Amino acid sequence: MKLLSGKFAIVTGAASPRGLGKATATLMAAHGATIGVLDLEATAAENVARELGDGHVGLACDVTDKAACETAAERLLSAWGRIDILVNNAGITQPLKIMTIEPENYDAVLDVNLRGTLYMSQAVIPQMRRQRSGSIVNLSSVSAQRGGGIFGGPHYSAAKAGILGLTKAIARELAPEGVRANAVCPGFIATDITEGKLTDAMREQILQGIPMGRVGTAEDVAGCCLFLASDLSSYVTGSEVDVNGGSLI
Ligand code: NAD
């Protein structure tokens, strides 16, 4: 059964080859959605759109740039006529400690993760309101819930915690208008953000904290995003869904 037939979905930061955004875009496309692949570089975004198959669109969009978010949403809306799903996936992290965060570090991490989530949401909400339907899925992190991890600094935890509050506020404000918003909190997932940077000792330490005994995959997270984007979750809004192998049990 295809869960997103006839739906139009935007996924930000979806050009990273082994990233959560690309895995989510791929799964959503397999479920019948037409995807707008957004990322910093047009060529990378266009290549992923082509890999997904006919009809998908790749666009350059820096989510920290409000005008760029509006332009991307307008271009996709004029091609599609509607926008059903937004996955705010673009994110960066920096492995800093509290006293080594400089103002520019704080700005960069808050801008991409939190400001980008606001700007891209603002770019699609007017259309979702007009449709009286839509699903926004925001990528938070276990770092928001437990105050950091191996790679995420305190500013990353703050940004991802901000996303939880923003998600609930969007969900509360837009619920009467048929628009849902939920957050996904991945635990440790093997992607370019994490792989190649782990020593054996770090990996062992991480695995000890995961009751399921394995790190997550991008597909584990994509499945949760698909559920939240689809009508299977029609009565779910304002929630934060953990995808962490039981790390917080
Ligand atoms: P990734 O680095 O593989 O991909 C992130 C993508 O975002 C890249 O393609 C990058 O070009 C893009 N991007 C960065 N800045 C951007 C900007 N200003 N505008 C548009 N795109 C931009 O990361 P990932 O591991 O796939 O993570 C995806 C999301 O999931 C992020 O929000 C991350 O914080 C979150 N997350 C990841 C993990 C994990 O373990 N990998 C865990 C928890 C949360």
Question: Which atom of ligand 1 sits closest to the CA of residue 221?
Answer: 30
Q: How confident is the model at residue 193 (pLDDT cuts 50, 70, 90)?
A: low
Assigned token pair, 97: 């400690």
Q: From atom 3 of ligand 1, which residue's Cα is the shortest distance away?
A: 19
Q: Whose CA is nearest to atom 29 of ligand 1?
A: 89
Residue-wise pLDDT for 67-122, tens only, equals: 999 999 999 999 999 999 999 999 999 999 999 999 999 999 999 999 999 999 99
The set of residues, in sequence order, having a beta carbon less than 8 Å from that of 182 and lying 6+ positions away, is 135, 136, 137, 138, 167, 171, 228, 233, 236, 237, 238, 239, 240, 241
Domains in the chain and their CATH numbers? 8-189+218-241 (3.40.50.720)
pLDDT of 148 reads 84
CA nearest to 150, candidates 207, 194, 215 = 194
Q: Which residue has the higher pLDDT, 131 or 197?
A: 131
Ligand 1 centroid distance, CA of 178 (Å): 28
pLDDT of residue 151: 72
Pocket test for ligand 1, best of 12, 37, 40, 203 (most atoms within 8 A of CB): 40
Distance CA 157, CA 98 (A): 11
Q: What's the gap in Å between 16 CA and the centre of ligand 1?
A: 8
Residue 176: is its pLDDT beyond 90? yes
207, 229 contact by CB (below 8 A) = no
Residue 67 has φ and ψ, to the nearest 5°, of -65, -40
What single string gives the DSSP state of each residue in 12-53?
A: ET---TTSHHHHHHHHHHHTT-EEEEEES-HHHHHHHHHHH-
Query: According to the model, what pLDDT value does residue 215 have?
Result: 93
More confident residue, 205 or 60: 60
pLDDT of residue 20: 97
Residue nearest ligand 1's atom 2 by CA: 193
Which tens digit of pLDDT belongs to each residue from 117-175?
A: 999 999 999 999 999 999 999 999 999 999 987 778 999 999 999 999 999 999 999 99
Site to probe by mutation for ligand 1, drawn from 10, 11, 18, 20 as the one with most ligand atoms within 8 Å of Cβ, is: 20
ipTM: 0.99
Q: Which residues line ligand 1 (CB under 6 A)?
A: 12-13, 15-16, 19-21, 39-40, 61-64, 89-93, 112, 116, 139, 141, 186, 188-189, 191-194
- Residue 163 amino acid letter: I
SS3 185: strand
pLDDT (0 to 100) of residue 239: 98
Beta strands in 66-223 (DSSP E): 85-88, 134-139, 179-186
Q: 131 CA distance to ligand 1 centroid (A)?
A: 29
User: Which two three-digit tokens encode residue 196?
Assistant: 């190649």
Euclidean distance between CA atoms 39 and 58, whole angstroms: 8
Place of tokens 């208008």: 177
Q: Give me the active site residues, please.
A: 156
Question: Residue 240: in which H helix or E strand, if any?
Answer: strand 240-243
Question: What is the mean predicted confidence (pLDDT) over 200-229?
Answer: 95
Contacts of residue 212, defined as CB under 8 A and 6 or more positions apart, other chains included, come to 245, 246
Going from the Cα of 20 to the center of ligand 1, the distance in angstroms, rounded, reads 7
